[in-house]
Amino acid sequence: MAPRKDATRIGSTTSTSAVVDSTARVAKTRPAAAAKHKDGSLNLKLRARSQLMDVVKKNTDSPLLRLPAEIRRMIWKYAVGGHHIYVHDPSLRRARYPKLTYRATLMGFGTHSLPAVPPGFVTPTFSLPKVCRQMYAETALLPYRLNMFAFDAPRIFDVWVRSRTLAQKRATSSLQPPLRSTTQIIDGTRAALSKKFPNLERIDLSDSAWGRVIYADDYGWSMHNETLQEISESLKQSEKGDVTITW
């Protein structure tokens, strides 16, 4: 007959092993940071034996991505282009690092300060680049090429500019800068927009449609009786490029 095991000993061993050390910590492995190019865009290259190759192939074989490239470009343009994007800080606090968000409407609706939403309009989320690698390659920069960006204050504009990658700045085509930022460019106290956005095509002055410019000088707020035509000509000289000024 086999000797019996000491039940007490077994029980004590089991209970001891089940006790959780309150000082123990679980080491979580962080995912590797995505590789990027020097311009800030993601590096989409994969190793030949990468486990993601099968996923990439399945995505490429989807009905949408099998469409001819010219048709896909039309779809992307319709999905993410033609919007007036108003960047602002909803908290209205003068924080050093404001939390930026945006409202969007179709181009031609509303104004700089309060974009109107046309009937049936669905606010875009600009999430196409998150779907897969191919869609990232085809759509990541389209929101910057195909939309107008407006801002409610110079500090919001400055934070937005600093947080853009070089690729995004190069793709930006249309801006509606804050009124004060515009006058600073004309006065030479702020660098021309085309220096940060080398492919900028259009600067819109709709925010100053009342025909005057208000800006803060050394003595406080001042009113200058400059017409929009004079403002646009002065801004054109400051930009020194093929930038169209509209209002």
Beta strands in 4-117 (DSSP E): 83-88, 101-106
Cβ partners under 8 Å of residue 129, min gap 6: 135, 136, 139, 140
pLDDT tens for 69-100 read 999 999 999 999 999 899 988 776 666 667 78
**Please, what is the average pLDDT of the chain?**
77
What proportion of the chain, given as a percentage, has pLDDT over 70? 70
pLDDT tens for 51-62 read 777 777 888 888
Contact 171/145 with Cβ under 8 angstroms? yes
**What is the spatial distance between Cα 81 and Cα 93, in angstroms, rounded to a whole number?**
31
